Structure formats: C-alpha cells, structure tokens
Amino acid sequence: MRYYTIEWIFSVLKVYQTKKIFYIENKQVSFKPKFFLLALLHLYQKKHFPLEELSEFLSIDKEEIISHRSMFDFMYLVDLLRKEFASWFKEMVLSRDFSEQAYETLAREFLLLEEQLRKQIQIPLLNNIKNLNYELEDKIETGKSLSKDDENMFFRILKFFDWVENFQESLCSRLVNRAKELVEKAYPEKLEIFNKVPLTNEENFKQNLKEELKRRISVSLEV
C-alpha cells in the first residue's frame, strides 16, 4: 500500500541528507539526520507514536527525545516542517484525482496527524468548499453548472472529507452533507461516489503504516 505521508517524510529526509547546507524558510538546519527524522515524525499525534515507539524506531534514548522536545530550535523546526507538510497536503488534495482506495488512505493518514496540523490543512480546504457550495447554489437556481476547474476542485475536496467524516464525524459534517445535497441536485449521476466500503480497519491500517515506517527508517538511517 502507498502511504503518502511516509513518502513525503522520506523525500524531505533524502534532500536533507544529500545537501551540505539545508535551509527551511531561510533558517539553516544542522541536526543529525536521525533527529531531523524525529522532527518529521512529529507530524503524527503523540498518542499514535508514543515516546517508547519513537525511541525504538530511531534508536534514540527516551531522555534524548525529551531533551530535544524542550529545545527551541528543534520545536521550531517541527513547526516549520508541519507548515511545509500542510501546504503540500492541501495542494495534493486540490490538484490531483485519486482512486477511492487512495482517498481512503489519505483520510486515514490525515486522522493520524497532529491536531493543529490537521487544522492547518482542514480550515482552508473547508473554506474552499464552503465558497463552492454558495456558488453551486446560485448556479442551480439559474440552471447553470460550475466551471470545469471549480467542479474538479469541489469534488476533490468533497471526496476527501467525505472519507474523513466516514471514519470520524466532526463539526465539518454539516458542510460536507450540504455539499452532498447539492450534488444530488446538480450532479445526480455522481451520487455513487458516496457509497463507501472501507478496505481496511483503523488498527490494521495504523499497524501496517508503522511497519512500513520502520522499514523505511532501517533503509534510510541504517538503524
């Protein structure tokens, strides 16, 4: 299975390892690769990747991890990496079409992310779909359709969040359900996209992701 977060993490790590001098937002970063990877793994919620697991995965003493979490430069790096990741994830949702299986994977990975990071991704995407809901309502009243670009954006965001809400309902459900009601009126032929049958359960997905993460760590760091 393809894990999009893992691909991003190790693509960034590879760039970090190959560059003599690495900058992110004009800030030079000089941590050892395993500590840079530790910062990258802070994309995920701590409850899903507790201290003991991070220590095992990276062969770093728990005390060292705790110490780095108290360092301003390290946590600032974590914040910058989360910002870069949020931008990448949003652009991926907006600009690409995925299979239903891939949307399921994206949604499950999204729900593993740290809460504030999820908000960095979620808020602008939901603002987009809210505005598109308003526009589509107007189009329906006048018997018109969204432009092709807006239609593509609308369905990409909607498919993603419909999967997310399928796994974990939130306050966003009202906005997502309103969009689905508009699809019923304007695009009835596309209603079948909301008939979802998950291919994995949460625990199996998380365990398989962790196994892939450990495999990639062993290859990238020779831990």
The CA–CA distances, whole Å, from 3 to 101, 136, 222 equal: 11, 33, 21
| Tens of pLDDT, residues 15-38 | 999 998 899 988 899 999 999 999
Assign 223 a pLDDT band (cuts: 50, 70, 90). very low
For residues 206-212, average pLDDT: 96
| Tens of pLDDT, residues 135-194 | 999 999 988 889 999 999 999 999 999 999 999 988 889 999 999 999 999 999 998 888
Q: Phi/psi of residue 81, each to 5°?
A: -65, -40
CB 109 within 8 A of CB 3: yes
> Which pLDDT belongs to residue 191?
87
User: In this structure, what DSSP letter does residue 22 have?
Assistant: E
Measure the CA–CA gap between 77 and 58, rounded to whole angstroms. 18
CB 158 within 8 A of CB 148: no
| 91 and 66 belong to one structural domain | yes
> Which pLDDT belongs to residue 20?
84
| Tens of pLDDT, residues 90-135 | 999 999 999 999 999 999 999 999 999 999 999 999 999 999 999 9
| 104 and 177 belong to one structural domain | yes
Q: Which residue range forms the structural domain that includes residue 15?
A: 4-95+201-221
> Which pLDDT belongs to residue 197?
82
> Which pLDDT belongs to residue 97?
95
| 110 and 174 belong to one structural domain | yes
User: In this structure, what DSSP letter does residue 194 have?
Assistant: G
For 195, the 3-state DSSP assignment is: coil
| 216 and 135 belong to one structural domain | no
